[in-house]
Structure 1
């Protein structure tokens, strides 16, 4: 299936479309994780043509149905719709995917254990496996009642750093201009864990209650929203530090991550507009993060605030924070235990001398990363339905595509691979945007403020109910439908939200039908 189509067969070369020139120098940011074949001028012209916004809404665009390019798989009405390998993997690569899937699904146990390949969990953790947070490789959800656990949701925590406590930033190689300086809680670290091994207290219990909000829409419709209020209840190690900032996080869906990783950094930065130079009210900003993996600053792409640069780094951070497992990027056997949690740090870990004293060695981490990169994007449904086509027009006319940028062409990679030179449709610019006070967590992360979030990709969003058994959206699952998710938009997206509130009901219904087709 590789080479299923080529860009040369798409549209004739045209002049490059006008793009915003960022005022900040980002020329030092490179795609260090990829072996790239540079684009020719002819390729760049063809790419500009096929990624230009549509002008005709009477029919689907060429290849629009295949959101993941040649890696796209047929959409299936089953819970495993997000768990399929990229369609253009070789036989050997599909075997590698299956082995990675085994590690992703593995239920880890405490050390020491007779199953040396599966021990090392904790001592503090949020889940016993990757799959238990990313259920069926889909979205997690908030607790649905007092007896429901928060296994696919947790609270991040940090405290502000005063000017007197700020180190000599100019002397730090990891200093990134514009970073908001915070520190982990001195006792609880950067993430609260609600499970623990015997003999250790869990750090907390996630408590959430909702305050109802009603919003009147055009045509006499009324939307019932819910405003969440979170609490870190039953703290196991004393109170949080003064000024502690909490941020709820629901596990996101996993599809298409390798394709997002293969988008050229320059293509993402070309749409950054921190000062709103074009006056459209949209001020997308990149989150630039320090990569311990490559020893250099890189563009953040992954995580709800774009706090990680690569799929491997995101996977390693999840092993450490969610399960207390050591990897080459986070070699501490105690995971997230702080120096104040002495009993936790003294617990025997599952480090294997044959694997460098790690619980997940480089081979294991690479297998999980390969699996995560190659979870396939399902094909869109109903792309030629008249209501869906009208909804796509509403999507563009309302300005939704200013942040949810439809398509890209990935890098041509020297070693080929499933992500090489694909026309993809993620509907995200992967940039940070101020989403208003309603969605603010008031907790900075890197360069992201407490009101900013990365634009989430929309591909596959219409299959959420099928895969995950629920329809909860946004970073904390507060929205119970796609319409509720839209109505929570504020800040830079306030005018788009207001347009949805006041538009004709049939236009609003068409917009939702378009989103459900993605």
Structure 2
């Protein structure tokens, strides 16, 4: 429980005092917590007492904003990509991969970019697309391994954004499945768990997502104004009849791919220690863990996805193959993907399963190679960590309480399976917990432990290169924010005090804060 590192609801930070008494108390508490980790290893079964002491010293939050911290530029430790920044900055292998692992990374990248085709096909090893799908390849959503975007014009395809679908539980069986976490949500009876905007030849697509916006103005200290756009979602051209009257819709843009394997190797105890689900200290922050079942049925910590609904890169990749592309794999063996029993035409289409290649459309080692690639995409080095404005912005970031949820650093497991991931000091800027982000960002669609107002704290590493890699600056789960400042201003709920602190900053300090974020 990271109690002292939280901001009390209603707190303010003025331009004259970036690090308030509450902020100082927060840093003191986390420093004490680091000492506790050294004393009892904090639940980390991978550390010796000496290791625990080293970790405690390294993760101790800084109180010195006059200079960059040691190793701060290396966001992913020894694996940080130090090459010149280009639009391919998110597509490089971890710098400390073995030669063998780097070769396998290249093979995995080829499969990540592979375009799947419908069955039957002369390509044989590439057929199995759909029958309903959102994209033909992993790269179609994660362009250059960056973040997706909402459709920019009415009627435009939402290739790198999709719509999650579910309904409230209506039967005892539904309620039991949710209670036991056999499922995290109840799919829409006809359209399944995700709207599929594309279909193979001869089959109707499920429909088309449309986004309309209304705008509202926020006035900042110093007189600056920002126009926020509030999205409104609707689905047209439904191909299989009306949806359930209580359908819950939740848009999601594809996240960036960097550092996933390192995130997976953050010890579970280090994340759980930050949680305070009942807000026991009364500070208005109640980060909670998302506990989910893995493919073996074991209850484990979810840390991937906008609602932390996936426990591993393997699970995330397998579900994306099935739900986004319609490709069956060893974890998700249904060759018809998200086609439901109410879509008989879909389930009657040819599949890409071929007995001589394996039991699924993406048999081993296809899934394993894509997972290997996804686990080892490097995080680029920070830029300008010692710049005076960046350091002032970092101080403002801490002073506004942003570091309470966007936890700057962790040390990965000593016993990680891949040596490249072991005992690395990483700077993801996330606690990987669920937080109530207020009514403005609510999708009103519960998923497992996440309520309709909860979102996982997204990692911030690499965020300053979004324009360079992805060609846009759309942020948040649905891309509504067109700038980092807009993204901050949408924060509510547990982050309301931090948002208000940023609003209250004088323009020069706010510019410094944004420059710090741009350096990540």
TM score, norm. by length of structure 1: 0.91
Q: In structure 2, how many angstroms separate the alpha carbons of the residues matched to 1:191 and 1:90?
A: 38
Q: In structure 1, how many angstroms separate the alpha carbons of the residues matched to 2:487 and 2:323?
A: 28
Q: Which of 24, 42, 47 is residue 50 of structure 2 equivalent to?
A: 42
Deviation at 1:131, TM superposition (A): 0.1
- Superposed counterparts of 1:452-471, under 5 Å: 452-471=454-473
Q: Which residue of 2 aligns with 1:218?
A: 221
Asked if 1:391 is matched to 2:399, the reply is no
Q: Do the aligned residues in 1 keep the contact of 2:147 with 2:253 (CA within 8 Å)?
A: yes
Q: Which residue of 2 aligns with 1:493?
A: 495
- Superposed counterparts of 1:113-512, under 5 Å: 113-162=121-170, 164-166=172-174, 168=176, 175-176=180-181, 182-292=185-295, 294-413=296-415, 415-512=417-514
Deviation at 1:233, TM superposition (A): 1.4
Q: Which of 28, 34, 37 is residue 17 of structure 1 equivalent to?
A: 34
Indicate the SS of the match to 1:44: helix
Deviation at 1:175, TM superposition (A): 1.3
Q: In structure 2, how many angstroms separate the alpha carbons of the residues matched to 1:94 and 1:502?
A: 47
Indicate the SS of the match to 1:157: strand
Q: In structure 2, how many angstroms separate the alpha carbons of the residues matched to 1:182 and 1:306?
A: 13
Deviation at 1:74, TM superposition (A): 1.6
Q: Do the aligned residues in 2 keep the contact of 1:156 with 1:248 (CA within 8 Å)?
A: yes
Q: Do the aligned residues in 2 keep the contact of 1:16 with 1:44 (CA within 8 Å)?
A: no
Query: How many residues end up aligned between the 2 structures?
Result: 486
Indicate the SS of the match to 2:494: helix
Deviation at 1:146, TM superposition (A): 2.3
Q: Which residue of 2 aligns with 1:53?
A: 61
Q: Which residue of 2 aligns with 1:24?
A: none
Please give the per-residue CA displacement for 1:284-322, whole angstroms capped at 9, x wherever unaligned: 101100111x33011001110001000010000000000
Q: Which residue of 2 aligns with 1:7?
A: none
Deviation at 1:201, TM superposition (A): 0.6
Q: Do the aligned residues in 2 keep the contact of 1:320 with 1:336 (CA within 8 Å)?
A: yes
In structure 2, the gaps of 5 or more residues are 1-30
Q: Which residue of 2 aligns with 1:11?
A: none
Q: In structure 2, how many angstroms separate the alpha carbons of the residues matched to 1:15 and 1:398?
A: 21
Deviation at 1:362, TM superposition (A): 2.7
Q: Do the aligned residues in 1 keep the contact of 2:116 with 2:137 (CA within 8 Å)?
A: yes
C-alpha spacing 1:48/1:155, structure 2 compared with 1 (3 Å): same
CA RMSD of aligned residues (A): 1.9
Deviation at 1:506, TM superposition (A): 1.1
Deviation at 1:164, TM superposition (A): 4.2
Q: Which residue of 2 aligns with 1:82?
A: 90
Deviation at 1:182, TM superposition (A): 3.8
Q: In structure 2, how many angstroms separate the alpha carbons of the residues matched to 1:329 and 1:165?
A: 23
Q: Which of 503, 514, 517 is residue 515 of structure 1 equivalent to?
A: 517
Please give the per-residue CA displacement for 1:220-267, whole angstroms capped at 9, x wherever unaligned: 100011000011111111111120000000000000000000000000
Deviation at 1:496, TM superposition (A): 0.6
Deviation at 1:366, TM superposition (A): 0.7
